[in-house]
């Protein structure tokens, strides 16, 4: 966005601000509503806007936080709160950002605002907690026991065959279905899907009293909650954990973890593999070798799925799955970046480095999902999609540069 020319004394607004400055505020409000952090930051910095000033709003006293919350722009809400914006500004309609988020059914944003002290306006005009408001039942609030990646359980068949678990309908199918279509994912959207997966696994690995290891991560087990995943800013991915998932105590890595012996010198039976769990292309080397394993097997499988998300081909696509797993386990082979390049994919180096840490041959080197989430969130902000003057997609890579060719940022499908 080009900066407007310096105004003169004849174009003062009703609030004593220059018309150009008022236009800058208007554009800030718009880009906050669509979650375009790059332009929000550019406008705020270029015009020296005080985001804490209640006059940084429209004529209805609706602030950038109001609009971001109302439109479900999580990244913008998070950034505005980090900038110290008032969490409870009240507009002309006696609404706070929290009420806008609730009315828009944006549970994650509602949770974020509540954690920052967000309230709603009561009947007497005072600020009250959402729990004390008639709006309290209008949105799902996410807590440690109500995570964003949880699939709603509806019922089960346990007494007659076929046994089954009934969950909410996931109309988007799975990542496997996406890979089989001709539709394309941008690098930024692929990062969002990777984030969803990482958050779900972090939740499983942090369960108490025993962590849950998925053990069967593959695109077919990553379910999509809607058809708008190609351009939506909302979370869309859930993990199917009804197959090989199991609860395990943490491996005692201080006592012979490399050989899988416990304190008594015996092989820990909790970490013996049958050879039937997991899909071979995504299987951790220690699993293929029938060695003791821990939660880091999920990190390896996650890396292989990320490779397919960003590189647009399955890992070791040219090999039989068992041969691929054998090469990874016995010869420490890993997929090659850019070997096919069907869609001229440009994967940022920071993404490559993270994926390579996740598929490291030494599971102790592989990061925990909490660290993966932090890294992916930073990457997501650094490649936030924007539009230039001509409507061409710009995506900033992790080094801060921009690339204008939209095809260079797309992820192709794999038949």
Helix residue ranges per DSSP H, 206-337: 285-288, 296-311, 321-330
Measured CA to CA, the distance from residue 108 to residue 147 in angstroms comes to 9
* DSSP annotation of 152: P
Measured CA to CA, the distance from residue 97 to residue 57 in angstroms comes to 13
List beta partners, residue 167. 153
Cβ atoms of 191 and 380 within 8 Å: the answer is yes
**Residue 181, C-beta contacts closer than 8 angstroms, at least 6 positions apart:** 413
Residue 249, φ and ψ in degrees, nearest 5: -70, 160
Helix residue ranges per DSSP H, 85-186: 97-103, 107-115, 175-179
Which candidate, 238, 214, 379, places its Cα nearest to that of 299?
A: 214
Cβ atoms of 366 and 360 within 8 Å: the answer is yes
Q: Exposed, middle or buried: residue 41 (CB in 10 Å: 0-12, 13-18, 19+)?
A: middle
216 is catalytic: yes
Cβ atoms of 251 and 262 within 8 Å: the answer is no
Residue 344, φ and ψ in degrees, nearest 5: 55, 45
Is the bond preceding residue 258 a cis peptide, omega within 30 degrees? no
Instruction: Name the token pair of 18.
Output: 């220059």
Q: Exposed, middle or buried: residue 381 (CB in 10 Å: 0-12, 13-18, 19+)?
A: middle
Residues 36, 100, 196, 216: which is the catalytic one? Answer: 216
Which residue reads 């040219």 in tokens? 318
Active-site annotation, residues: 216
């Amino acid at each position: 966005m080009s900066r407007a020319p310096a105004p003169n004394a004849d174009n003062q607004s009703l609030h004593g601000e220059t018309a150009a400055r008022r236009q800058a505020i208007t554009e800030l409000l718009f880009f906050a509503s669509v979650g375009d952090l790059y332009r929000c930051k550019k406008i705020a910095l270029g015009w020296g806007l005080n985001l804490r000033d209640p006059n940084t709003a429209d004529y209805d006293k609706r602030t950038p936080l109001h609009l971001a919350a109302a439109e479900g722009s999580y990244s913008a809400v998070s950034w505005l709160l980090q900038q110290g914006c008032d969490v409870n500004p009240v507009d002309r309609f006696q609404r706070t950002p929290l009420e806008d988020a609730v009315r828009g059914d944006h549970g994650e944003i509602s949770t974020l605002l509540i954690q920052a002290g967000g309230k709603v306006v009561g009947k007497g005009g005072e600020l009250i907690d959402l729990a004390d408001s008639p709006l309290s039942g209008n949105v799902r609030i996410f807590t440690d026991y109500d995570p964003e990646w949880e699939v709603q359980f509806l019922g089960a068949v346990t007494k007659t065959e076929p046994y089954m678990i009934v969950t909410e309908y996931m109309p988007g199918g799975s990542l496997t279905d996406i890979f089989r279509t001709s539709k394309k994912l941008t690098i930024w959207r692929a990062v969002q899907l990777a984030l969803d997966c990482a958050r779900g696994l972090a939740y499983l690995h942090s369960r108490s009293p025993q962590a849950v290891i998925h053990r069967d991560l593959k695109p077919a087990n990553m379910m999509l909650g809607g058809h708008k995943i190609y351009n939506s800013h909302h979370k869309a991915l859930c993990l199917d954990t009804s197959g090989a998932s199991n609860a395990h105590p943490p491996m005692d890595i201080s006592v012979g973890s490399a050989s899988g012996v416990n304190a008594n010198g015996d092989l820990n039976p909790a970490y013996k593999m049958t050879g039937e769990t997991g899909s071979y292309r995504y299987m951790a080397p220690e699993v293929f070798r029938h060695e003791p394993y821990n939660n880091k097997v999920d990190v390896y499988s996650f890396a292989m799925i990320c490779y397919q998300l960003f590189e647009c081909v399955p890992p070791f696509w040219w090999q039989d799955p068992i041969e691929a797993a054998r090469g990874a386990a016995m010869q420490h082979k890993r997929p090659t970046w850019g070997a096919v390049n069907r869609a001229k994919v440009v994967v940022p180096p920071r993404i490559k480095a993270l994926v390579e840490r996740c598929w490291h041959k030494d599971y102790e080197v592989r990061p925990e999902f909490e660290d993966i989430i932090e890294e992916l969130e930073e990457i997501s902000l650094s490649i936030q999609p924007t539009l230039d003057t001509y409507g061409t997609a710009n995506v900033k890579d992790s080094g801060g540069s921009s690339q204008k060719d939209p095809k260079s940022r797309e992820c192709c499908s794999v038949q």
